[in-house]
Structure 1
Amino acid sequence: MSDFDFHALILAAGQGSRLGGTPKQYRQLQGRDIWLYAVLALASHSACRGGVIVCPDGEEAYHAAKLAEYQLNHWMAVTGGAERQDSVKAGLEQLAATKPSAVFIHDAARPFLPRDMIDRMLDLYHQHPPHKQTDGQITDPNMIKAIVPALPPGDSLKTVNNNQVTGQIDREQVIRVQTPQLFHFDTIYELHQCFSGAGFTDDSSLAEEAGIPVHVIEGDPRTFKITTESDWIMAQMMAPAQTMTSRVGFGYDVHRFEETHDTDQNTQIMLCGIAIDHDQAVIAHSDGDVGLHALTDAILGAIGDGDIGTHFPPSDEKWRHASSDLFLIDACRRLAENSGKLVNCDITIIAEAPKVLPHRDAMVEKLAELTGLDQNAVSVKATTSEGMGFIGHKLGLAAHAVVSVLLPVSGIEQ
């Protein structure tokens, strides 16, 4: 493995108690867990050869599934420890088998990681990278083993006691250290073994304790740590819009009419959520709304989630005479759970009777209500089969539905 490669270690095992509510690494920014932003920023770098995400106890399977979803095949999930230093040690031990040359250690609560900062740290590291001779000893006296990004404090700094100022701190003598921090892997691994349980909250502090020079580059204000509610508000404002892809779904449904044809019979059928008087009833397990059934299948097809019979099988008595509103609402819920958005729907009803035109406005209004679409994004049309086939002979009716949806792009290309 080249000295110009690196691995990454992302810390996401904390509870985020200061922010409250859902642990901050699992809060959603534009439909994505916060911890994924840092993982993707490092994983997408051409020099990254893999990494590890350190997670809370019991969450390894979830993180492993997410890594697989984003095709991060050289990344692993490992359970963290009680303290930050314990978690870093666990992550380093997991990475050790891959024999990394260098490692970035980063807090998952810092989701915005500019590429240029990673590059500047690598450029500095490569000026004097630790090279080993055959005996395993590093000989270059100018070698760089530890690099941290840092920013100068923007405000005046004071010391206080009992809420009273007791002195002033020279801003020229202090910096605000950020992550990611870049280390020669063997060095930081050995330091964590040596100082295990010492309670360090910053990895560069271990290098300082061992007398290893820590080099500093200019940090980036965007790489702030989400700690308070105001940080969270800022993160929401900064999060890039989610990359979306467009998909099309198609649905079709057909139902027979009852064989009796009594013009005096007072019957209603359901079409696109509207009850319409007709002299023949529809034969169906549910309410037989071909418009809503076709639309439901179109949405399910667009997200690759089976069909209406998969989720509401006619063999299940629970759905006998059920309103098809339920099926459409469920399909829209499944779309939303995939962070998707319905863009428009277009339904064509094929029937000799009843006439659709007198009810079309009511149908559009109902569909807009059920789907959350504006009415100008809902189309309902009707046609006959010109007296041909079973529809032409008034033995039944059918509907076609087409939808357009937006779904998040999956994978590291985001």
Structure 2
Amino acid sequence: MSESANSFKKYAIIVAGGSGSRMKSDLPKQFIEIGGIPILLHTLKKFREADPSIELLLVLPESQIDFWEELCRKHADFSQNLAHQVIQGGATRFQSSLNGLNMIQGEGLVAIHDGVRPFVSTEVILRSFKTASETGTAVVSVASKDSVRISGKAVDRSTVRIIQTPQTFLLSTIKKAFQNPELPTFTDDASVAEAAGFEIHLIDGDYENIKITTPEDLLWAEVLLKKR
């Protein structure tokens, strides 16, 4: 596969289905503000900045859609250039990703990204699209900084990668993978593609591309925001 990423239509499916339980908040974590702006708007902006041609699709639980639209109106100055399609999510991550994929017709490249990773860099986003255009898959990862044990047994840390998002695919590849039944072993979209027989190509990510799920993550997020 040798086509340039620029020859493909590009999409980003932003999946945001959190409840806020681990954040110890009544407000779903994707709506919590950092720097006075909801996390999810920061995430959408990252993809718009990376490439204005990317079509943005946001997958949310049905019960959260009205509240999200209110937030967009409240932060109209920030969100005015972040046009996106809102899609009702499913009961699981698999079903939510599938709902997003079903809204896309034709060939192209799609990046599937956690809504609560607002610090993904432009470089990582563009690298993921480029690699997926060449190989069919591109999954962002970083090396483990810590020693690792599996069931009490030490493993070679150099062989361990911590998986992040975006996870980017040729649309025909990931749509074919999602035709298979959902399994409990599907922890992310890459695991769905791998189970369908597709090779997963890892690309270097960024340690600042954190997933905000706990109060400690929120503190770190405020620090990262001040750096930018």
**TM-score range for the pair, normalised by the shorter chain length:** 0.7 to 0.9
Bigger share in helix:
2
Partner of 1:245: none
Is 1:185 the equivalent of 2:171?
yes
Distance change in 2, residues 1:214/1:159 (3 Å)? closer
Decide whether the 8 Å contact of 1:8 with 1:103 is kept in 2: yes
> Cα offset for 1:87?
0.9
Distance 1:170 1:49 in 2: 39
3-state SS in 2 of match to 1:113: coil
Aligned residue among 116, 127, 132 for 1:120? 127
Instruction: Pick the structure with greater CA Rg.
Output: 1
Distance 2:178 2:154 in 1: 34
Is 1:44 the equivalent of 2:49?
yes
How many percent identity over aligned positions?
A: 30
Is 1:198 the equivalent of 2:183?
yes
Partner of 2:3: none
> Which amino acid counterpart does residue 11 of structure 2 have in structure 1?
H
Distance 1:113 1:184 in 2: 20
Q: For 1:100-129, what per-residue CA distance to the aligned partner results, in whole angstroms no more than 9, with x for missing partners?
A: 501110001111011111122233234x3x
Distance 1:55 1:155 in 2: 34
TM-score after normalising by structure 1: 0.49
How large is the RMSD of aligned CA atoms in angstroms?
Answer: 2.2
Which structure 1 residue ranges, 5 or more long, are not aligned? Answer: 129-143, 161-165, 243-414
Q: For 1:35-61, what per-residue CA distance to the aligned partner results, in whole angstroms no more than 9, with x for missing partners?
A: 111111112333633121111222223
Partner of 2:8: 4
Partner of 1:91: 100
Partner of 2:140: 149
Is 1:63 the equivalent of 2:68?
yes
Decide whether the 8 Å contact of 2:128 with 2:166 is kept in 1: no
Partner of 1:233: 219
Distance change in 2, residues 1:235/1:148 (3 Å)? same
Distance 2:21 2:107 in 1: 33
Q: Within 5 A, what are the aligned runs for 1:266-345?
A: none
Is 1:54 the equivalent of 2:59?
yes
Decide whether the 8 Å contact of 1:3 with 1:102 is kept in 2: no
> Cα offset for 1:159?
3.2
Which structure 2 residue ranges, 5 or more long, are not aligned? Answer: 1-5
Greater Cα shift, 59-68 or 17-26: 59-68
> Cα offset for 1:168?
0.5
Distance 1:209 1:109 in 2: 26
TM-score after normalising by structure 2: 0.86
Decide whether the 8 Å contact of 2:120 with 2:209 is kept in 1: yes
Distance change in 2, residues 1:64/1:49 (3 Å)? farther
